[in-house]
């Protein structure tokens, strides 16, 4: 799985102290997936008692748009 992170996503990951491995786990093994459009997704994953959401575009690669705690 090839991931690209937008600058916004990188800033949010750093600011919110989210570990990159958690983002990859959320995309690879989500607890919940919502398809927004043909190639846009929101996935939710519970990790260490908290949940994160990852918003991404799936094309030939996965482009992570943002990540946040719920």
List the domain boundaries for the chain.
3-69
Non-local CB neighbours of 64 within 8 Å, separated by 6+ positions: 3, 4, 5, 6, 9, 23, 27, 54, 55, 56
Tens digit of each residue's pLDDT (9 = 90 or more) over 34-61? 999 999 999 999 998 999 999 999 999 9
pLDDT at residue number 54: 98
Measured at the CA of 38, the angle between CA 33 and CA 44, to 5 degrees, comes to 15
Tell me the chain's radius of gyration from C-alpha atoms. Answer: 11
- The whole-number average pLDDT for the span 3-22 is 96
- Mean per-residue pLDDT of the chain: 96
Is the pTM of the predicted complex or chain greater than 0.85?
yes
Residue with more model confidence, 68 or 1:
68
């Amino acid at each position: 799985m090839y991931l690209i992170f937008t600058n916004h996503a990188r800033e949010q990951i750093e600011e919110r102290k989210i570990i990159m491995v958690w983002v990859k786990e959320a995309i690879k093994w989500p607890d919940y997936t919502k398809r927004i459009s043909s190639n846009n997704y929101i996935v939710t994953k519970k990790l260490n008692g908290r949940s994160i959401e990852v918003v991404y575009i799936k094309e030939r690669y996965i482009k992570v748009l943002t990540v946040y705690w719920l």
